[in-house]
Amino acid sequence: MSIPDSTDQFETVDSSLKMTCIDSFATTATALRRALILVLVASGPATAAELDSIEPSIVRILNYAQQPNWYAPWDALRATQRSGSGFMVSGGLIMTNAHVVSDSRHLVVHRNGDPSPHRVEVLHVAHDCDLALVRPLEPELFSDAPVLQFGELPSLGSTVVTYGYPAGGRHIASTRGVVSRIESQLYSHSGADSHLAIQTDAAINPGSSGGPVVQDGAVVGVAFQAAQDLENVGFFIPTEVVDHFLTDVADGSYDGYPEFGISVSSLESPAARRKAGLAADESGVIVDLVLIGNSADGLVQPKDVILEVDGHLVANDGTIVRDGMRLGLGVLFDAHQTGDVIKLRLLRDGVRLLVEATMAPPSRQFRRFARAYDVLPRYYVYGGLVFVPLGRNTLETLGESWASSDEKHLLYEYLQRFYHDPTALTEEPVLMLRRLDHPVNANGAWASNLVVKRVNGRAIASLEQLVEAIESQRDRYHLLEFAYYKRFIALDREEAENAHREILERYGVSVDRHL
C-alpha cells in the first residue's frame, strides 16, 4: 500500500492519468458505443488458431452484487449486475479480478457458446492487488477445458493479445496491442495500493476485466483497468503480482501484501546529498516517516538514507534496476510475503549499517486508506447520533470530489495528521457521521461529519471505546467533545434512552450497531 502524502495520490497515477476499474457499471449507451468502437479500431484480433486454443478456457462472469450504504450503514444499496471475464487455472479454478466478484450476492459464469449459467463461489479474493479465484459448484464443469499456463514478464515493445467479454457481450473478443510501459501504478479498485502494472494499447473495455493477456500461448497478465482520459490505453496485472497472490493463498488463506511502513523523499539535489552525508559515488533516498506498528518500526529511523535493498542499489530518484529495467523501489518490498526477511543497507548519522526486517501485514487502522469490500460497515447509533470509523468508504459519501471537499478537518485527520503525530495511525478515528433528527438531539448545534475526541471525559481511539464510554455512563448527561473547532454536544441520558427505540423505528434502523 502507498502511504498517502496528498489527496492526489488517491485519484490519479500521475497528474494526467486517471484510472478506473473496467466493469459493467459503465455500460451506458454512450459507453457501449465507445467500447465497441475501441474493439473495432484495435490493431488486430487474435488468429483463428490462437482463439481455438484459448477460447475454451475463458468464461463470462455475472455478479449480482449489492454494496452497503455507507451513509446509512444499517442499510444496503440497490442490487446491480456486473459483468466481467475470467479464465481457467490449475485446480479447476477460475482467475479473475477482485472488482469483478466483490460484494457478490449471486455469482455465475457462462462458458463460451453455452447459454446456461453455472454457479460459482469466491474462494480467495485480494482487494489490495485486484485478483480473485472462484470455484465452480459443479466439480466437473471444466474438466474438458485446457488450463492456461503463466509466462514471464513481457518485454517493452512486444505484442500481447487480450481476451474477454467486453461491453457485456456474449462472445469472446480479442484485441492485439503493444506493451508500452512497465512500472508501478495505483490500483484503482482499492484506491490506495500501488503495484507493478503493464500498459498496452490493446483495448481493455467494460466487461474485459479479469480476462487473460496472452503472449506466445502463455498468460502474461490479467486485464484490470484503463486510463479514463486516454484512448486505447489499458493496463494489466503482470504474472509476478499473480504469483505473489497464488503463493499467498497456497496455505488456504490470503494474508495480503505486507507493509514496510515508511515514507521517503528523493535525494536528486546535490546539496541534499551532501547534507545527508552521502559520498560522491553513493545514492539513495531519505526516510521522512516510519509508521508505528509496521515492518520498519524500531529498525529504520527518520533521516536514515536507504542505500540498498536486497542487494539492489537505490538511485537518488527512488528507483532500482531489475531485469534490465529501472523500476520504483516499491517492487522490492512487493516481492516479499508476510514473514519474509528484507535486507536494507542504511546510512545513519554517518555510519553505514545493515538492517534486516521481518515483513508484517498492515494494521487494520492502516487499511482505512483503502476502499473496503465484502464487509458490512461498522457503526453505532445512540440518541439519533450515528457514529462510524473514519475511512475511505465513508469519505466517498461526500461525493466524487471528496478529496477537495470543504470538510478540511476530515481530510487532515485522514491524510495528514499521522505525519505530524505518528501515534495517530495506531488509533481509529471515530466520526459522528450524521444526526437522525428527534427532539432529544435537535437542539444540538452540530449535526454531521465531526471527529469525536472525548465522550464523558474519556479519550476515544476506536468505535468500541465510544460505545463503552456511552453505555457505562451513569450521570444524567452525556458530553461529546469533538476535535477541531472545539465543538461539543450534550445529551440528556434518560431522554435519549427513552427515545432510542422510537428513533430506530422512525428511521428504519433495524439494529443500533454493528461493531
Residue 3 backbone phi and psi in degrees, to 5: -80, 125
Comparing C-alpha atoms, which of 115, 48, 50, 59 is closest to residue 89? 59
Q: Provide DSSP, 469-507.
A: HHHT--SSEEEEEESSTT-EEEEEHHHHHHHHHHHHHHT
Distances (CA, A) of 424 to 21, 43, 291, 296, 480: 31, 51, 10, 17, 20
Residue 433 backbone phi and psi in degrees, to 5: -70, -45
SS3 content of the chain, % helix, strand, coil (to 5): 25, 35, 45
Residue 314 neighbours by CB distance under 10 Å: 23
Adjacent-strand bridge partners of 52: none
**N- to C-terminal Cα distance for the chain?**
25
Is 99 assigned a catalytic role? yes
In the set 57, 83, 85, 99, the catalytic residue is: 99
Do residues 19 and 225 touch, judged by C-beta distance below 8 A? Answer: yes
Is 171 assigned a catalytic role? no
In the set 57, 188, 190, 209, the catalytic residue is: 209
Number of helical (H) and strand (E) elements in the chain, helices listed first: 11, 29
Adjacent-strand bridge partners of 235: 199, 225
Do residues 90 and 35 touch, judged by C-beta distance below 8 A? Answer: no
Q: Provide DSSP, 132-154.
A: EEEEESSTTTTTTSPPPPB--PP
Distance of CA 296 to the CA centre of its chain: 21
Q: Provide DSSP, 401-442.
A: TGGG-S-HHHHIIIIIHHHH-GGGGGS--EEEEEE---TTTT
- For 159-314, strand residue ranges (E) read 159-164, 173-187, 193-200, 212-215, 218-227, 234-238, 262-265, 285-290, 305-309, 312-313
Q: Please count the residues of the chain.
A: 515
Residue 169 DSSP SS3: coil
Distances (CA, A) of 213 to 235, 294, 335, 425, 431: 10, 35, 22, 38, 43
Distance of CA 352 to the CA centre of its chain: 36
- The catalytic site residues sit at 99, 209
